[in-house]
Amino acid sequence: MSQHREPVTALGAPAAIGPYSHAVRAGGLLFCSGQIALDPESGELVGDTAAEQARRCLENLGAVCAAAGAGLADAVRTTVYMTDLGAFAEVNAAYGSFFEADPPARVAIGVAALPKGAQVEIDAVVALPG
C-alpha cells in the first residue's frame, strides 16, 4: 500500500458492491465513494422515495466519515446523482436536514440509471480534522 493514500473501510456502512474502497484518505482529504441506499446489515436497497433513499445515502456516508475520524459536517463537496430530477425538491429537503449550517459545495446530476435500481447516489470529499 502506498503511503500517500490509505483506503478506509467502514464497518457501519454497507459492503462495497464492486472493486472499490469505501473511501481513500490522501493529502488531508477523504474521498468517499458514492453511497446508494443500501441497508448496512442486509445489503438490500431501502427507501421507497428519493428522499428516503437520500437520507440512507447520507447515513451511509456518515458511517464512512466516522471510520476515518471525521463527520459529514467536514464535507467540502458532495455530488448527488438522481434518476429523476423531478424529485429534486424532496431530495434537497432531506439533504438539507443533514447540513443545517455551512453546507458543503454540491453538484446535482441527472443520470439514466444507478446500481441496484437506486434512485439516488451521493458521494463526498471530506476535510479530515487536523
| Mean per-residue pLDDT of the chain | 96
Positive/negative CA dihedral, 19, 91, 72, 108: positive
pLDDT confidence bin for 130, thresholds 50/70/90: confident
State the cell numbers at 25.
484518505
CB burial readout 11-32, b (16+ within 10 A) else e: eebbeeeeeebbbbbeeebbbb
Q: From start to end of 10-87, where are the E strands?
A: 23-26, 29-36, 75-82
d(CA 41, CA 21): 18
Which domains are assigned to the chain? Answer: 6-127 (3.30.1330.40)
pLDDT digits (tens, 9 = 90+) for 65-92: 999 999 999 999 999 999 999 999 999 9
Checking if the pLDDT of 3 tops 90, the result is: no
Q: Would you tell me how many other CB atoms lie within 10 Å of the CB of residue 56?
A: 23
Beta pairing, strands 29-36 & 23-26: antiparallel
CA-CA distance, 95 to 89, in Å (whole number)? 10
* Whole-prediction pTM: 0.96
Q: Give the model's pLDDT for residue 15.
A: 94
What integer is the mean pLDDT of 103-107?
98
- In this prediction, residue 2 carries a pLDDT of 54
Q: Are 25 and 128 in contact (CB under 8 A)?
A: yes
Which residue type does 20 have? Answer: Y
